[in-house]
Amino acid sequence: MSTTIVGLALSAAVVAAAVVAGGDSEYVSDAVNNDRYVVGAVGESSDGSAPAGGADKPQDKYFRADAALCNATAGLDEVELFHVAGACPDGALDVTISAAGCEPGAVELADLWVQRVQADGSYAEPEMVSAADCVTPADVAAEARRAFEALQIDPPVASVQGREPLLVNVHYPARAETGPLEESVTLLGVPVTIRAEPVEFTWDFDDPHSAGGGTLTTTDPGRAWRDGDATPDDSWVGHRYTSLGDPAQDAGTDVDAEGDRYRDDVTVTLTTTWQGSFSLAGSATWTPIAGAVTTTTTLDPVTVTEARVRLVCDDVENSSTC
């Protein structure tokens, strides 16, 4: 990461004091040694640890701002270096110091400055800590992973389509209503977008008695059956209960007054796996985040029962068949 000063060569570099407007604290990074600083913070040390003397004691202020050259007499020996472009006295020439252009996919940060606390509690004139940096996705990858893991991801709404009680030997479609989530954060002084995308869905249909077990893992969130669709079959994301177990030996399996087996409190759960990625401000490139997080959706309990064929009287066009 290199910085180029354009326009003027310095024979003297005098750092002029200036007041930095307040704002929320945020972490930035010196790309030379990867130290952390707190921008505009009072009551924290430059490495983020608890300050000596208590939280009420003023601490060094770190901030980022573009530097500028001020030349009041047009002579290079009179050049002064100010910490903010546009801070030159009236009538002085203001020439911004610019960094060499960053590579595609990187973000340029302004120069890093510090105002150190003096013995009397006042702040010294700003001094430059490091020149402008080009920050790449690799520089913020670790912070992006922590931000992704801390991201609040709500479990998707999930459902099994069917009127209760569910019947054995019927394939019931299941679906998850979800999509990618994005959140804007600031990492090491750089605006970053964190994206969480659902990539895998594992259904547990609470079915220990059917052949093949009651779990299904898929990358398809599923879809609902609608009028006009073909009858849902095993190609749909969903499940078919084929056995309810033996009431004499399987806990949870019972027999109703008509002799039909049933299971109540059948609870379906969905575990969704989310993959993360991030993009630096102004970049169209998404960088994958190592690892993944999961969420769990628990559906309301249902009853599954057998369907028994029974003969009934019917009256069709005044013709009774009994």
Q: Are 204 and 158 in contact (CB under 8 A)?
A: no
Q: Are 124 and 118 in contact (CB under 8 A)?
A: yes
- The verdict on 102 and 63 lying in the same domain is yes
- The verdict on 96 and 232 lying in the same domain is no
Answer yes or no: is pLDDT of 194 > 50. Answer: yes
Per the domain annotation, does 313 fall within a domain? no
- The verdict on 48 and 88 lying in the same domain is yes
Instruction: Report how far residue 269's alpha carbon sits from residue 271's, in angstroms, rounded to the nearest whole number.
Output: 7
pLDDT tier at 96, thresholds 50, 70, 90 = low
Per the domain annotation, does 321 fall within a domain? no
What tens digit of pLDDT does each residue of 5-14 get? 332 222 222 2
What tens digit of pLDDT does each residue of 76-91 get? 555 555 545 555 666 5
Q: In the listed set 86, 110, 135, which residue is the last one of a domain according to the structure? A: 135
Structure tokens that stand for 240 in this block: 């078919």
Q: In the listed set 86, 117, 135, which residue is the last one of a domain according to the structure? A: 135
- The verdict on 293 and 203 lying in the same domain is yes
More confident residue, 208 or 103: 208
Average the pLDDT over 245-263 and give the result: 93
Determine the pLDDT at residue 286: 95
Helix H or strand E segment including 306 = none
Determine the pLDDT at residue 58: 81
- The verdict on 292 and 215 lying in the same domain is yes
Determine the pLDDT at residue 252: 93
Q: In the listed set 135, 162, 180, which residue is the last one of a domain according to the structure? A: 135
Query: Which of 78, 76, 62 shows the shortest CA–CA distance to 26?
Result: 62
- The verdict on 234 and 266 lying in the same domain is yes
Per the domain annotation, does 127 fall within a domain? yes
Determine the pLDDT at residue 132: 80
What tens digit of pLDDT does each residue of 166-192 get? 999 999 999 999 999 999 999 987 899
Per the domain annotation, does 5 fall within a domain? no
Cβ burial 263-300 (10 Å sphere, 16+ → b, else e) = beebebbbbbbbbbbbbbeebeeebebeeebebebebe
pLDDT tier at 19, thresholds 50, 70, 90 = very low
Q: Are 163 and 307 in contact (CB under 8 A)?
A: no
- The verdict on 260 and 183 lying in the same domain is yes
What one-character DSSP code corresponds to residue 140? H
- The verdict on 260 and 285 lying in the same domain is yes
Per the domain annotation, does 17 fall within a domain? no
Answer yes or no: is pLDDT of 36 > 50. Answer: no
Per the domain annotation, does 230 fall within a domain? yes
Per the domain annotation, does 2 fall within a domain? no
Determine the pLDDT at residue 78: 54
Determine the pLDDT at residue 49: 42
Share of the chain above pLDDT 90, in %: 51
Per the domain annotation, does 297 fall within a domain? yes
Please tell me the least confidently modeled range out of 19-23, 42-46, 153-157.
Answer: 19-23
- The verdict on 263 and 237 lying in the same domain is yes
- The verdict on 223 and 261 lying in the same domain is yes
How many domains in the chain? 2
- The verdict on 114 and 218 lying in the same domain is no
Determine the pLDDT at residue 122: 92
Instruction: Report how far residue 156's alpha carbon sits from residue 18's, in angstroms, rounded to the nearest whole number.
Output: 50
- The verdict on 229 and 259 lying in the same domain is yes
Measured between its terminal Cα atoms, the distance across the chain in Å is: 91
More confident residue, 240 or 281: 240
Please tell me the least confidently modeled range out of 86-100, 118-132, 181-195.
Answer: 86-100
Give the range of the structural domain holding residue 42, as residue numbers without chain letter.
Answer: 27-135
